[in-house]
Amino acid sequence: MRVRAQIAMVMNLDKCIGCHTCSVTCKNVWTNRQGAEYMWWNNVETRPGPGYPRQWENQDKYNGGWALSGGKLVLRVELKKSYKPPGLDDYYHPWTYDYEVLFSETQAEQQPVARPISLVTNEPVDVKYGPNWNDDLAGTEYILEDVNMSETERAVYTQFKDVFMMYLPRICNHCLNPSCLAACPRKAIYKREEDGIVLVDQTRCRGYRYCVAACPYKKVYYNWKTGKSEKCIFCYPRVEAGQPTVCSLTCVGKIRYMGVLLYDADKVLDVAAEPDPKRLVRRFADEVLLDPYDPNVVAAAREAGIPDDWIAAARRSPVYKMVKVWKVAFPLHPEFRTLPMVFYVPPLSPVVTTYENAYGAKITDIMPKVSELRIPIQYLANMFTAGDTALVEQALKKLLAVRIYERAKNVAEPGLAEKAKAALQEAG
Ligand code: SF4
Ligand code: SF4
């Protein structure tokens, strides 16, 4: 066993309100400069949707990530003998508004319009895409209240109302098996020994952009001004000072939990090359991530030079509890085989009807209803567990049980809390 420590994050998607505060505060601190305008080290995507950059999950489009060839892990950029980083159209042309026109126009019937101007050429630009192009459902709930709507129109809009959506905030995952690092011919990308943060050494980088193509999450960006690649640095100067990342600190929904994980570095490549992606997900939590209460793990951690305060931090880590103990948080697209260190609690909402019906009932009575939730479980499983619906369903059951318990405890009639507590125990 080769124990290593890693700073990691869990995001509880039930709590994300899509306000983009995380993205904006991150930008203000880290990418508010020339050459980095289009970069969003933290971005928040509305799902379902093509994401940012456009279709980043399509590994054939960009030749990103790892593939298995003859049972071995091979970079797709090498396997295909070509690399395809996203182009400007897949992100968006950096632009600002021509605000001057608001003051210089003479009075007219129509108000003047501030049109987008390229930050690169200073010319008007036709904006065709952006970091959150397909945000929200444009007020369909409100439209349905229109009493003058014809039945045909109502039917059309009702379909919209049934459409589900969710928010997915994304940062670099500071993976255990980073394909960005493996693809760099200059060895400019490295994973810090002490906390696992993945960084680009700006003095070594020559801007070849292999990393941009090879990251399956498209979380390395090319700076057109400096000619070098950049990425999320997990706010390491703040972490070193005992502070949370800027995105965690400023998150309005308080969806982000930071914590230390202990993992077995000897298991990383073996599990990353697990042929069955569904088994990979389970082996990742069970074999790669370690139990910081296990005396053998603690002894091996000390032998590896991990300080006692980090071992203590791993024990009280919410990431450890949510990922390994409670199994309610999962990595994004584990089938990409990079073993990400950012995890997500899948969203349960909205569950009002299910919840009201379930209220005070036995958990086994209400569980079939979990599969009727608005966000299809298969959709979540494809995103977080390589299609394994059983894992997601189990996590949602636990979340539902906690909701019932908390609501019964805090707002319900006396007596229901006990029933809900039994439900919680039943859900494990
Ligand atoms: Fe590298 Fe991408 Fe993983 Fe970040 S998410 S460590 S950029 S492979
Ligand atoms: Fe979601 Fe928090 Fe970001 Fe707002 S600040 S979009 S709640 S992750």
Give the three-state DSSP class for 289.
Answer: strand
User: Of ligand 2's atoms, which has the minimum distance to the CA of residue 15?
Assistant: 7
Task: Give ipTM to 2 decimals.
Answer: 0.95
The residue that leads in pLDDT, 86 or 354, is: 86
Question: What are the pocket residues of ligand 1 if the criterion is a CB atom closer than 6 Å to any ligand atom?
Answer: 172-175, 178-180, 198, 215, 217, 219-220, 231, 338
DSSP 71-119: TEEEEHHHHTT------TTTS---EEE-THHHHHSPP-SSPP---EEET
Phi, psi for 372 (deg, rounded to 5):
-100, 10
| Reported pTM | 0.89
Task: Please state, in angstroms and rounded to a whole number, the distance separating the CA atoms of residues 212 and 206.
Answer: 13
With vertex at residue 99, the alpha carbon angle to CA 93 and CA 103, rounded to the nearest 5 degrees, is: 160
CATH classification for the domain delimited by 346-426, as one of 3.30.70, 1.10.3650, 2.30.30, 2.30.29: 1.10.3650
The pLDDT tens digits of the residues spanning 11-29 come to 999 999 999 999 999 999 9
Give the three-state DSSP class for 167.
Answer: strand
Is the predicted pLDDT of residue 158 greater than 70, yes or no? no
Give the three-state DSSP class for 343.
Answer: strand
> 424 CA distance to ligand 2 centroid (A)?
28
Q: Whose CA is nearest to atom 2 of ligand 1?
A: 215
Is the predicted pLDDT of residue 41 greater than 90, yes or no? yes
Q: What is the structure's pLDDT at 101?
A: 82
Q: Whose CA is nearest to atom 4 of ligand 1?
A: 172
> 217 CA distance to ligand 2 centroid (A)?
19
Give the three-state DSSP class for 381.
Answer: helix
Task: Tell me what percent of the residues of the chain surpass a pLDDT of 70.
Answer: 84
> 353 CA distance to ligand 1 centroid (A)?
39
Is the predicted pLDDT of residue 218 greater than 50, yes or no? yes
As annotated, the residues of the chain forming the CATH 3.30.70.20 domain(s) are 3-88+168-336
Q: What is the structure's pLDDT at 322?
A: 97
Is the predicted pLDDT of residue 315 greater than 90, yes or no? yes
Q: Considering only 98-112, 134-148, 391-405, which range has the smallest mean pLDDT?
A: 134-148
- Amino acid symbol at 233: I
Inter-CA distances, 184 with 40, 178, 191, 212, 229, Å: 21, 11, 13, 10, 11
Is the predicted pLDDT of residue 254 greater than 80, yes or no? yes
Is the predicted pLDDT of residue 157 greater than 90, yes or no? no
Instruction: Specify whether domain 3-88+168-336 bears CATH 3.30.930.10.
Output: no
Is the predicted pLDDT of residue 138 greater than 50, yes or no? no
The pLDDT tens digits of the residues spanning 322-354 come to 999 999 999 999 999 999 999 999 998 665 444
Q: Are 361 and 347 in contact (CB under 8 A)?
A: no
User: Of ligand 1's atoms, which has the minimum distance to the CA of residue 181?
Assistant: 1
Q: What is the structure's pLDDT at 314?
A: 98
As annotated, the residues of the chain forming the CATH 1.10.3650 domain(s) are 346-426
Mention every residue, 6+ apart, whose C-beta is less than 8 A from residue 152.
none
Per-residue confidence band for 397, with pLDDT thresholds at 50, 70 and 90 = confident
